[in-house]
Structure 1
Amino acid sequence: MSLARFIEAQEGSYATALSEIEAGRKRSHWMWYIWPQLRGLGHSPMAQHYGIDGAAEARAYLAHPILGPRLVEISHAMLAHEGRAPEDILGGIDALKLRSSATLFAAQPGADPVFARLIEAFYDSPDAKTLALLDP
């Protein structure tokens, strides 16, 4: 699959997603394509469509001139809420997705440290299922 699926999905919703995170409360539905996780973790059609296919696609996402900077930007916006429970900002299911996404991107060589900081700020440890899928 092409990364174009993320560009198309974010076109009308990235600004909304960023403003919701900056305000400290996710209110609309965009998690799958803003903080994607590995394909296979989620079972819904949206999770499958926007699931990252593996480490190579994760690295391509980070290197993309639009997607990579947006992911870093919204991750920094989330870190502004350090000290709050991620469930209070994102809801329970999406808080789990953030952990998976941050784990996926933190595991990539040369990744921005913001992803490791998300894990440290909001979770006890990286997502074990993501790590297992990355290194079967």
Structure 2
Amino acid sequence: MESDGFDLERFVEAQAPVYSDVLRELRDGRKRTHWMWFIFPQLSGLGHSPMAQYYGIASLDEARAYLAHPLLGPRLTECVEAVLTHPERSANAIFGIPDDAKFRSCLTLFLAAGAAEHPFGAALPHFYGSPDPRTLSLLGAER
């Protein structure tokens, strides 16, 4: 099923068997399994692995469609909120390398797409201080 011309169903299908585990890991404050690409997607062009390419968000319009999706938007918000329950930990301590950078890219993308200031606008300055410059650069080229 496509939403506004985007194959967002790829995210729904990938999340279905693991979403409860993802939330548990985030609430525990430590990512232990492999799901970053389809839980916290980033802009296409940042990652080069097949998974990063498949789950990359191609444009601000696709990011807006993701946020507006009745399942994906609320799940993304819920996951960011779960990360924010660990203000004493760094993104690196929660996600490890390189997933801490992917989280920053994801927050930057969805804020640019119009995501709610909370929790996205709270998480970005708390964990990183500033948006991801590579994401902003690619978005600038899109405009």
* 2:25 partner amino acid: E
The alpha carbon displacement at 1:128 in A equals 0.6
Alpha-carbon distance in structure 1 between the residues aligned to 2:42 and 2:9? 16
* Residue in 2 that maps onto 1:5: 10
Unaligned runs of 5+ in 1: none
Give identity over the alignment, percent: 54
Alpha-carbon distance in structure 2 between the residues aligned to 1:36 and 1:97? 8
Q: Which residue of 65, 71, 77 maps to 1:66?
A: 71
The alpha carbon displacement at 1:83 in A equals 2.6
- Per-residue CA deviation, residues 42-76 of structure 1 (Å, 9 max, x unaligned), is 00000000000110000000000000000000100
SS in 2 for 1:17: helix
The CA RMSD measured in Å over matched residues stands at 0.8
TM-score of the two chains, using structure 2 as the length reference? 0.92
The 5 Å alignment of 1:19-58 reads 19-58=24-63
The alpha carbon displacement at 1:124 in A equals 2.0
* Residue in 1 that maps onto 2:3: none
Runs of 4+ in 1 over 3 A off after TM superposition: none
TM-score of the two chains, using structure 1 as the length reference? 0.96
2:108 matches 1:103: yes
2:119 matches 1:85: no
Question: 8 Å contact 1:83–1:122 — kept in the other structure?
Answer: no
SS in 2 for 1:27: coil
Unaligned runs of 5+ in 2: 1-5
Alpha-carbon distance in structure 1 between the residues aligned to 2:131 and 2:34? 24
* 2:48 partner amino acid: H
Alpha-carbon distance in structure 1 between the residues aligned to 2:69 and 2:50? 24
- Per-residue CA deviation, residues 5-51 of structure 1 (Å, 9 max, x unaligned), is 00000000111111100011111000000000001000000000000
The alpha carbon displacement at 1:104 in A equals 0.3
The alpha carbon displacement at 1:112 in A equals 1.3
Alpha-carbon distance in structure 2 between the residues aligned to 1:5 and 1:17? 17
The 5 Å alignment of 1:117-128 reads 117-128=122-133
Question: 8 Å contact 1:20–1:27 — kept in the other structure?
Answer: yes
Aligned length: 135
